[in-house]
């Protein structure tokens, strides 16, 4: 049975984490997607993978997700970025780690380079959605929808079978957390995996991540028949192969 724990972010604010430790100086960090949690197939698969390979594993549920504190609709990219930063500092401290980010998690993972660049040994993006609030929501709205969004100060987004309340303050906060204009000269591996049938995030948005890393070892795998989740057994095995390439 998977053992989840809690860590206090602030006095009365608990974040739920999944942390497996071994005699290893390397941690695999998994950052989940929007409205997701740590009970999905990807984090549980990665936790098993790390146990098998005797590598540390760390994941967390951001505020308003899973069983962590707060309400989803009050969350922001800044808040979730700080949740991730806090947990990495608390658990991993000064040791090396690999970031794996799914969708929103890829955006949050890229933001961690501003604080942990020297500790990060590689980056894997799954259906990566950097800056999705502007690029996949705001920019695709019609003029009358934008006016209504500005007037009501929220927008009801239907995506991947779910409906989310996106606040105007959330959109504006996202603009303060841009990553696609960054330049990171690390020569680390930057691997992307994306489903050919992903109807939530276009492949060309995922590919924009490569422009951040001019000197990195870059590779993208387009998964035939793969959706946005990439949680099938074959998808997960392909993900494991990418991790193997980085840590072995």
Q: Which of 98, 117, 52, 119 has the alpha carbon at shortest distance from 246?
A: 98
Amino acid 161: pLDDT: 74
- Note whether residue 92 is domain-resident: yes
Q: What is the CATH number of the domain that holds 42?
A: 3.40.50.1820
Boundaries of domain holding 238? 5-131+180-247
Q: What is the pLDDT of residues 15-69, one digit of tens each?
A: 999 999 998 999 999 999 999 999 999 999 999 999 999 999 999 999 999 999 9
Domain count, the chain: 1
> Taking residues 167-173, what's their average pLDDT?
96
- Note whether residue 233 is domain-resident: yes
> Taking residues 187-208, what's their average pLDDT?
97
- Note whether residue 154 is domain-resident: no
C-alpha distances (whole Å) from 61 to each of 19, 66, 99, 215, 217 are 12, 6, 15, 32, 29
- Note whether residue 146 is domain-resident: no
- Note whether residue 127 is domain-resident: yes
Amino acid 108: pLDDT: 98
- Note whether residue 22 is domain-resident: yes
Banded model confidence at residue 98, pLDDT cuts 50, 70, 90: very high
Q: What is the pLDDT of residues 125-146, one digit of tens each?
A: 999 999 999 999 999 999 999 9
- Note whether residue 30 is domain-resident: yes
| Whole-number Å distance between alpha carbons of 146 and 140 | 9
Cross-strand partners of 6: 16
Amino acid 144: pLDDT: 95
Amino acid 192: pLDDT: 98
Amino acid 211: pLDDT: 97
- Note whether residue 168 is domain-resident: no
């Amino acid at each position: 049975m998977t053992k989840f724990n809690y860590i206090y972010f602030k006095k009365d604010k608990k974040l739920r984490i999944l942390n497996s430790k071994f005699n290893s100086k390397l941690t695999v960090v998994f950052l989940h997607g929007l409205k997701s949690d740590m009970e999905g197939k990807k984090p549980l698969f990665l936790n098993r993978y790390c146990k098998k390979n005797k590598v540390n594993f760390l994941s967390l549920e951001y505020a308003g997700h899973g069983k962590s504190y707060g309400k989803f609709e009050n969350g922001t990219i800044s808040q979730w970025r700080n949740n991730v930063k806090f947990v990495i500092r608390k658990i991993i401290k000064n040791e090396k780690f690999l970031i794996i980010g799914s969708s929103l998690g890829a955006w949050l993972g890229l933001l961690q380079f501003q604080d942990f660049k020297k500790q990060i040994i590689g980056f894997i993006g799954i259906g990566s959605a950097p800056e999705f609030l502007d690029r996949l929501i705001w920019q695709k709205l019609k003029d009358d929808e934008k006016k209504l969004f500005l007037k009501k100060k929220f927008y009801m987004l239907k995506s991947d079978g779910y409906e989310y309340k996106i606040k105007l303050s959330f959109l504006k906060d996202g603009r303060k957390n841009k990553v696609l204009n960054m330049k990171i000269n690390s020569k680390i591996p930057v691997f992307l995996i994306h489903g050919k049938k992903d109807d939530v995030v276009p492949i060309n948005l995922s590919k924009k991540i490569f422009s951040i890393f001019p000197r990195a070892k870059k590779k993208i795998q387009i998964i035939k028949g793969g959706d946005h989740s990439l949680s099938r057994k074959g998808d997960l095995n392909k993900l494991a192969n990418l991790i193997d390439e980085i840590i072995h």
